[in-house]
Structure 1
């Protein structure tokens, strides 16, 4: 978004202000008066919200970067390339809160020299990252790519993605998903995420999977036809073998395949595509099994049809979620 009615100086002032507000709103001593002033600034011009959103994305990406002691570095005039214009200033002022020139942050390994943000809403989307890697995004998926001096990093914010990573042994490729990460140099693999659950399927090459980014080491190694899964609180991922009939990648053809799964296991796969998650009333309902092949674009219609194919009926809880309830079985007549 741009506004041709603004001068370069006015545009730069908005960018500086957005960086300032990004820092203050993340500060522990931010006051209620400051938050009110921020809301007033945000409403003053449509470009304010656009610039602040860009700052917030950069803050999220830089959240795990080191925070060195403040230093004074002479400012250097550089001509940035898109999207460096906004990012260079934001990273220097917002992400590190230091007057670093963009190239200094890159050389020190604190700041990326490329930043990309991708979303897929109603269609599967194929994108090419700045390093040449290919990624297919499933419906309702979002990721951010950043290229650092010593590694390439993707943060999968939600959904599912299939990666074909360009090989570079000196420049590892790291995918962050929930609390864990997947580290590779060049390979093909799939990452599925729903809430705090993550599953990684390796197709080609090898990857290292850890369930908690704060734990030491690079994680457990997967070979082809292996998968790892983890969720919040797992110390190490669970490793298993995949087989020829594995349907984890059916989404690449627009399908969700449920192979005689208990509803407790099937719902995370289904709910990934629903605006309002489907729930089960109790353990006995969750044990009911479901199978079939479904179009991922039509899963919203599945909820209403389940009572026609399973021994269940639908209610809604106080939060408005549809809830599946098992139909009590009639005792046999004597």
Structure 2
């Protein structure tokens, strides 16, 4: 059921018009994000206003409107009574043509379609700036493709994890596709991770809408800061749950936070960032629970911490392997 009201709709239209203005200031954009966070009705109304704007922009290529405009130019002015009778229709046509002219202006200003590919190798974290000003931090062993044109900004996360700080462009929606999910940005900072075909979306700031199709039915969820959601490979949307902001904020800074994490899972995550791999010499150690903050790529420090804090023994084998053993008997 819709949560919008005429008040929501009017405010949404006013915000959209202001955000499209080149004079829109940073404080105004912050105020817009605050307004979005006030209620789900604000978010829904803004999405609808944006959709209507995009629909109006598509009229720039509508042949019926073009034909009507050509016909109006060819025909002589009608007699006064007839003109009065057709005035409402002419006014509506004139309004449509004004919208079309505005849409054509924005279309001409839009950059041509571009396709850009980015990847981060094992042990690397890479920051890239897309051509709309969006800043993307790619985590290790991650890859994406960005396809931008005059109508939308589409990023496909092919593997791994990325954080997006989205550049402002209210004319073109920013979409991230990963597996069966589509994330629609509404001016935010958010993270998307893709493990095989399972996708997780976590929101740090602003608002996003996550959509997926399962068994022919589309589901949508709007996240607020501090929430996350998982999308299964078949498109099923799990329930929203709290996002651990300490964990989410750590990896972009080069740190990994573990809270009662199984040792085998911890090693799997840490090994992604280094050619020096830590292995378990005793499978019984896999379920040992570890808590701590460890810097990515610093395997030697991790091994030393496991020696001191959990009394494990380490064995260095060659240049690229450290084997962990249980405490001395």
TM-score of the superposition, structure 1-length normalised? Answer: 0.51
CA apart distance, 1:185: 3.4
Residue 293 of structure 1 aligns with which residue? 293
* Structure 1 position 270 matched with structure 2 position 264: no
**Cα RMSD, aligned residues only:** 4.0
CA apart distance, 1:153: 1.0
Aligned length: 214
CA apart distance, 1:161: 1.6
Residue 144 of structure 2 aligns with which residue? 143
Distance in 2 separating the partners of 1:234 and 1:113: 29
Distance in 1 separating the partners of 2:225 and 2:202: 8
Distance in 1 separating the partners of 2:323 and 2:144: 31
Give runs of aligned pairs for residues 158-237 of structure 1, distance below 5 A: 158-210=159-211, 216-217=217-218, 219-233=220-234, 235-237=236-238
Long gaps (5+) in structure 1: 1-106, 316-320
DSSP-derived class of the 2:218 partner: coil
Greater gyration radius: 2
**1:153-175: CA deviation from partner (whole Å, max 9, x where unpaired):** 11112222211112334422111
Contact 2:258 2:291 (C-alpha < 8 Å) held by counterparts: yes
Change (3 A) 1:299 1:192: farther
Residue 250 of structure 2 aligns with which residue? 250
Change (3 A) 1:284 1:185: same
Contact 1:209 1:237 (C-alpha < 8 Å) held by counterparts: no
Long gaps (5+) in structure 2: 1-106, 316-320
DSSP-derived class of the 2:162 partner: strand
CA apart distance, 1:204: 1.5
Instruction: Specify which structure has the bigger relative contact order, considering alpha-carbon pairs within 8 angstroms and separated by 6 or more residues.
Output: 2
CA apart distance, 1:142: 1.9
Distance in 1 separating the partners of 2:273 and 2:133: 29
Distance in 2 separating the partners of 1:196 and 1:113: 28
**1:284-313: CA deviation from partner (whole Å, max 9, x where unpaired):** 755321122211122487479757754778
Distance in 1 separating the partners of 2:276 and 2:297: 15
**1:79-104: CA deviation from partner (whole Å, max 9, x where unpaired):** xxxxxxxxxxxxxxxxxxxxxxxxxx
CA apart distance, 1:271: 4.9
Contact 1:152 1:174 (C-alpha < 8 Å) held by counterparts: yes
Contact 1:225 1:243 (C-alpha < 8 Å) held by counterparts: yes
Residue 78 of structure 1 aligns with which residue? none
Distance in 1 separating the partners of 2:145 and 2:130: 10
Change (3 A) 1:197 1:133: same
**1:220-239: CA deviation from partner (whole Å, max 9, x where unpaired):** 11111111223434611342
Contact 2:132 2:167 (C-alpha < 8 Å) held by counterparts: yes
CA apart distance, 1:203: 1.4
Contact 2:127 2:138 (C-alpha < 8 Å) held by counterparts: yes
TM-score of the superposition, structure 2-length normalised? Answer: 0.52
Q: Greater helix share, 1 or 2?
A: 2
Residue 114 of structure 2 aligns with which residue? 114
